[in-house]
A and B are shown apart, each in its own frame.
Chain A
Amino acid sequence: MASKDIKVQVNHLTKKFGDLLVLDDISFNINKGEFVCIVGPTGCGKTTFLNLLTRLIEPTSGEILIDGKPADPHVHNISFVFQEPSAFPWLTAQQNIEYGLKIKKKSSEEIKSQVDKIIGLLGLEKFRNAYPHEMSVSMEQRVVIGRAFALNPDLLLMDEPYGQMDIKMRYYLEDEVIRLWKATGSTVLFITHNLEEAVYLAERVLILSNKPAKIKAEKKVDLPRPRSVSDDKFVEIRKDITDMIKWW
């Protein structure tokens, strides 16, 4: 693959908290516009890993490059969808979606067109001026996801965003995230411990080992979309990943 297609490069990323080794020499690349899922056991250091990628904490050694330059929230558009509800309660749905664009000091026309596009994609027209306390948890999470995509992020990180949803809502939201991803051409890194979700969404699945976390294996998912969870090939890939992930 030509190097110009590589969006994100993670080189020998290592994190220690004192003597505790949490991440052990992790290296991988993400191509431009790729949808990558990371799966791994609970407590393997996924959150630490994400916090490193967004530069909320500094690595002990190693580096993260976006477009060949060290990742920096002030330079790059990095979006993060957190596990817990993170819509700003004092902003309406529309204002929440505008937030990142305003911080990035985009022009008001650009903000308007981008926000209208996202609200259209999410079908949130009727809830433009609703405050988070007037929404259900899943609707709030959709606004948050819209806010993340609105930035046209160089890298969009999602940390088990559907962890608290029931299965029906999850199917619906998974399709929605694919729709947003296709419409915006963003590069997405999606963390989950639900293997079915990973196979349903990802083009490539990275499997992390138990702490200290390393990349244990990698699996390409080249199924056509829309995917069906009961499809033979789907089941086969899921089973393969289950065998690879086994830490017990």
Chain B
Amino acid sequence: MGNQDEKTTSKVANSILIETAARKRERKQLLIISLVCIFLFFGIWEIAVRLNWIDGKYLCAPSAVIKTFMTKLSDPKPDGAVLGIHIITSLKLVLIGYIAAIIIGVPLGLLMGYYHTFDKLVSPIFEIIRPIPPIAWIPLSIIWLGVGTAAKCFIIFLAAFVPCVINSYTGVKLTPPVLVNVAKTCGATRWEIFSTVCVHYAMPLTFTGIQVSLGNAWSTLVASELVSATAGLGYMIQQGRSLVRPDIILVGMLTIGILGAIFTTLLSKLENKVVKWRAKS
């Protein structure tokens, strides 16, 4: 009997080892495929530009983009500022607008989801404002706030605000009645039900909203910097267009992409900390 057990155990252990090895191999293959794709993409792009299949004034080679990127780190020409200044200027706008949107939007959404009267009070106005694209606010915000930082932040704020509100609102609305009833039968007050049950239940969806908001904030940045800027990544891209310098445009786009990716990663890390109770898929 003991022998039999041992055999079964080693069989199971073996099959687990084989499975792990197979998974590793599969992961490696997938990684190779991804890398090959990237190299092919940039390789074809590079060749196409070098062999003049594409005119240099429409698109420059990836190698040129990297070169410009390096030069821009220290050279303020031709658009007036080094890359670092552009990054800081834009980062400030995005962060102010985005953080304000979270601070105001998330609590607003949560409260709207829970308090019926509050919902009825705010919803109609919110529903009218919601479908208006943030860019359509540019002229008004200039009249109200001038052409400085405030107007740009305001536009980014509006873009990031909407998903924050909607997602936290929906999260609260979706709280299973049975969980609310557990709190109720324990004798919890309205506020306790909200703060100990609904807010927690809404967190995963709220975080999805915060992620969407981040994307919105960055994509509105370029548009907001149309408003008389002197520095910023959006401004740099605009300058690249006026000067017909596709490499400058691409450096700006690339920087926004990288910054966005960094923020998304940080946010995911935070999310995993806050909602660590969620089942990992």
- Contact indicator A86/B277 (Cβ below 8 Å): no
- Contact indicator B186/A56 (Cβ below 8 Å): no
Known: A91-B277, A133-B277, A133-B278. A86 touches B178 (CB 8 A): yes
Instruction: Produce 1/0 per residue, B239-281, CB < 8 A to A.
Output: 0000000000000000000000000000000000001111100
Known: A88-B200, A89-B278, A133-B278. A79 touches B185 (CB 8 A): yes
Residues of A within 8 A of B184 (CB): 54, 56, 73
Contact of B188 with A by CB under 8 A? yes
Residues of B within 8 A of A88 (CB): 179, 182, 197, 200
Partner of B185, one of A73, A90, A131: A73
- Contact indicator A90/B275 (Cβ below 8 Å): yes
State the CA gap A104–B203 with chains docked (Å).
Answer: 25
Contact of A22 with B by CB under 8 A? no
Residue of A nearest to B189 (CB): A74
> For window 28-81 of chain A, which residues contact chain B by CB distance below 8 Å?
54, 56, 73-75, 77-80
Contact of A82 with B by CB under 8 A? yes
Known: A73-B187, A133-B277. A82 touches B182 (CB 8 A): yes
Residues of B within 8 A of A131 (CB): 276-277
Residue of B nearest to A155 (CB): B185
- Contact indicator A82/B186 (Cβ below 8 Å): no
Residues of A within 8 A of B201 (CB): 89-90
- Contact indicator A78/B277 (Cβ below 8 Å): no
Residues of A within 8 A of B200 (CB): 88, 90
State the CA gap A156–B184 with chains docked (Å).
Answer: 14
> For window 167-189 of chain B, which residues contact chain A by CB distance below 8 Å?
178-179, 181-188
Partner of B186, one of A73, A84, A91: A73
Partner of B182, one of A74, A75, A80, A89: A80
Query: Counting chain B CB atoms within 10 Å of each CB, which of A77, A80, A86, A103 scores highest?
Result: A103
Residues of B within 8 A of A99 (CB): 182-183, 186, 196
Q: How large is the interface on A (under 10, 10 to 19, 20 to 34, 35 or more residues)?
A: 20 to 34
Q: How large is the interface on B (under 10, 10 to 19, 20 to 34, 35 or more residues)?
A: 20 to 34
State the CA gap A100–B276 with chains docked (Å).
Answer: 22
- Contact indicator B181/A80 (Cβ below 8 Å): yes
CB distance from A86 to the nearest CB of B (A): 5
Residues of A within 8 A of B277 (CB): 89-91, 131-133
State the CA gap A126–B18 with chains docked (Å).
Answer: 31
Q: Tell me whether chain B's interface is mostly helix, strand or loop, or mixed.
A: helix
- Contact indicator A103/B203 (Cβ below 8 Å): no
- Contact indicator B197/A100 (Cβ below 8 Å): no
Contact of A151 with B by CB under 8 A? yes
Residue of B nearest to A102 (CB): B196
Contact of B55 with A by CB under 8 A? no
Residues of B within 8 A of A56 (CB): 181, 184-185
Contact of B192 with A by CB under 8 A? yes
Residue of B nearest to A53 (CB): B185
Residues of B within 8 A of A78 (CB): 185, 187
Partner of A86, one of B179, B188, B203, B275: B179
- Contact indicator B182/A86 (Cβ below 8 Å): yes
- Contact indicator A103/B196 (Cβ below 8 Å): yes
Instruction: Produce 1/0 per residue, A86-122, CB < 8 A to B.
Output: 1011110000000110011000000000000000000
Residues of B within 8 A of A133 (CB): 277-279
State the CA gap A100–B185 with chains docked (Å).
Answer: 9
Residues of A within 8 A of B197 (CB): 88
Known: A88-B197, A90-B275. A151 touches B186 (CB 8 A): yes
Residues of A within 8 A of B279 (CB): 133
State the CA gap A75–B185 with chains docked (Å).
Answer: 11
State the CA gap A5–B9 with chains docked (Å).
Answer: 58
State the CA gap A79–B279 with chains docked (Å).
Answer: 27
Residue of B nearest to A101 (CB): B186
State the CA gap A90–B182 with chains docked (Å).
Answer: 14
Residue of A nearest to B188 (CB): A103
A-B complex: 10 closest residue pairs judged by Cβ atoms: A133-B279, A73-B187, A100-B186, A80-B185, A90-B277, A90-B200, A103-B186, A131-B277, A74-B187, A54-B185
**A–B pairs, 21, beta carbons within 8 Å:** A73-B185, A73-B186, A74-B187, A75-B187, A82-B178, A82-B181, A84-B178, A86-B181, A86-B182, A88-B182, A88-B200, A90-B201, A90-B275, A99-B183, A99-B186, A103-B186, A103-B187, A103-B188, A104-B186, A131-B277, A133-B277
Contacts A73-B184, A103-B188, A103-B192 supplied; 17 other A-B pairs, CB < 8 Å: A54-B184, A73-B187, A75-B187, A77-B187, A79-B186, A80-B181, A80-B185, A82-B178, A88-B182, A88-B200, A90-B277, A99-B186, A99-B196, A103-B186, A103-B187, A131-B276, A133-B277
Binding site for B on A (CB under 8 A): 54, 56, 73-75, 77-80, 82, 84, 86, 88-91, 99-100, 103-104, 131-133, 151
